[in-house]
Chains A and B, each alone.
Chain A
């Protein structure tokens, strides 16, 4: 009986993963190469695709740097100090998880857009935020905001502060403490957070779509470019460009698994 249940559960899980994940991804690859390697290559080397790839990478790198710095700072502050509003801060960090990205995009429009309250100031200083690259970067930072700190806070909390306190008593400076004690413990979960952040930043559609204005060659990221190609009846090209995203996703997935393996090993010790 138990064996049957076990078998059924595994079959159900496998079927679900096959239908929901493997099949669609396989379809992307099949469609991408439907008209041969040459069409695929043309699609991915087309100027607008390259521009979109460039913008996506730029956005991802900036979001990554900002959120890593913020994540380290926030997790340090939250787990190593006691202050009023600590719980509130922890909750606030999670906001991007619960808010729809579209709403995030709209709020940027309402603040920095032509009808937004910051617009006169931006206009006076000739700064463009929404419908330009800064808006896309901001939107991406917003949606990937919690990834790094969310990975690190639980780990740092469970480790406690004993070792750091001991080091401090022995006269180590905070930087030495961080470098010698804190960082070696958190590095894999930090990397894990960074990887999740990368994956999300590359694929973000909703928030970016709202603030982009869809100016080709300027404010189109890869996911937006895929939508445009699809809408222009360039089905094969759309899937070819999706293929780039899938390949990146697979690389990220492999790296993620390696890091996860390291994380588990670290816990055992």
Chain B
């Protein structure tokens, strides 16, 4: 008896509720349809998108730093009838985003003229060590353009790249170089001029973590080079100097770009130890807020490039991958690198940028002053090596 009672009651309420429930469901569905509607709008491009991303209005040419990457959209239809479009992946480090966005465009044009084939380059950026790690774990990069020789050596150890890659391209496979400078706030309120100014108590330093960031290792070694010179080779005092320096670090990000954002956008710290190119880029974005200070001694930073043998052999992209790195040494690309605040390795083109870079800066370098990356890594950055000892205490 009771059951039938509740049942009839249920039925009655059901009727009145049904309309409301249905309305609610309809609303949920329409919300979802609206969302998926967006996707179906973009869906038609899906099939062709691997060849040409949907770029009706590709990055405006007039902009100094294009927002879109290489988007060879206009050539796509022609290519389909002639040659299969190529796709390669460039796994790079943090500050090269803008450089490679621009470079991919001129390379695609160059390759098209040479072979009639379209090539799309997919970019990936992050801390150099982290990026090397992802390639090691299966992120299929045709080429790597990382901050350090050592990061590429990790890939050699992992069996992805054949040893001897350093000799594969000119200038030790370093098409452009950079150095480490200071970025300080406008008018330099803490009057920071050199390395010994930033170890003073009360100065807040922003630099990334040498364990994961290539730039951070260059920062460390540049400071070491200065202090070793200051203390005339006394390593104990030099270690103390570095300890003071890292004692002043308030934010230790995992990549160089993270540090730049911390300093520039979030307004943390008094001084950013930065890649020269990164410092110039920040200045370009915020001309009225910052100043670049060049210390008396810095380091010649040579970011390295290499073809990832295992991947290109599997995918059959060796030719275009090698050409991609080779073309970095062309006059056109060298000039573009200079425009993006990397020091071109071609001395003639570098000379043309004498107004931009301080070419008289005294630079230590990794091979002569630190005995190469393998030795430097073991001495400074391996587990329980000098950096760990400094940072633990």
Q: Which residues of A contact B (CB under 8 A)?
A: 46-48, 50-51, 53-54, 57-58, 61, 109, 112-116, 119, 128, 130-131, 191, 195, 213-218, 228, 230-235, 237, 248, 251-252, 254-255, 258-259, 262, 265, 269
Q: How far is the CA of A57 from the CA of B281 in the complex (A)?
A: 34
Q: Select which of B10, B17, B21, B134 is within 8 A of A131 by beta carbon.
A: B134
Please determine whether B137 and A217 come into contact, CB atoms closer than 8 angstroms.
no
- What's the minimum C-beta distance from B369 to chain A, rounded to whole angstroms? 32
Please determine whether A215 and B124 come into contact, CB atoms closer than 8 angstroms.
yes
Q: Select which of B13, B27, B134 is within 8 A of A213 by beta carbon.
A: B134
Please determine whether A230 and B261 come into contact, CB atoms closer than 8 angstroms.
yes
Q: Which residues of B contact A (CB under 8 A)?
A: 10, 13, 17, 20-21, 24-25, 27-28, 31, 35-36, 38-39, 42-43, 46, 49, 53-55, 67-69, 71, 89, 91, 94, 97-98, 122-126, 134, 136-140, 158, 257-258, 261, 264-265, 281, 285
- What's the minimum C-beta distance from B3 to chain A, rounded to whole angstroms? 9
- What's the minimum C-beta distance from B50 to chain A, rounded to whole angstroms? 8
Q: Select which of A109, A231, A258 is within 8 A of B258 by beta carbon.
A: A231
Please determine whether A131 and B140 come into contact, CB atoms closer than 8 angstroms.
yes
Q: How far is the CA of A177 from the CA of B138 in the complex (A)?
A: 48
Q: How far is the CA of A95 from the CA of B134 in the complex (A)?
A: 26
Please determine whether A269 and B36 come into contact, CB atoms closer than 8 angstroms.
no
In terms of DSSP, what is the predominant structure of the interface of chain A? Answer: helix
* Chain A residues within an 8 Å CB radius of B54: 47, 50-51
Q: How far is the CA of A216 from the CA of B122 in the complex (A)?
A: 6
Q: Select which of B17, B21, B89 is within 8 A of A215 by beta carbon.
A: B89
Contacts A119-B138, A218-B122 given; does A57 touch B35 at CB 8 Å: yes
Please determine whether A115 and B42 come into contact, CB atoms closer than 8 angstroms.
no
Please determine whether B137 and A233 come into contact, CB atoms closer than 8 angstroms.
no
- What's the minimum C-beta distance from B267 to chain A, rounded to whole angstroms? 13
A-B pairs, top 9 by smallest CB distance, nearest first, are A114-B138, A113-B137, A213-B139, A131-B139, A113-B138, A57-B39, A258-B24, A47-B53, A214-B124
Q: Select which of A46, A53, A214, A255 is within 8 A of B28 by beta carbon.
A: A255
Query: Of A51, A195, A215, which is in contact with the most chain B CB atoms at under 10 Å from its CB?
Result: A215
* Chain B residues within an 8 Å CB radius of A231: 94, 97, 125, 257-258, 261
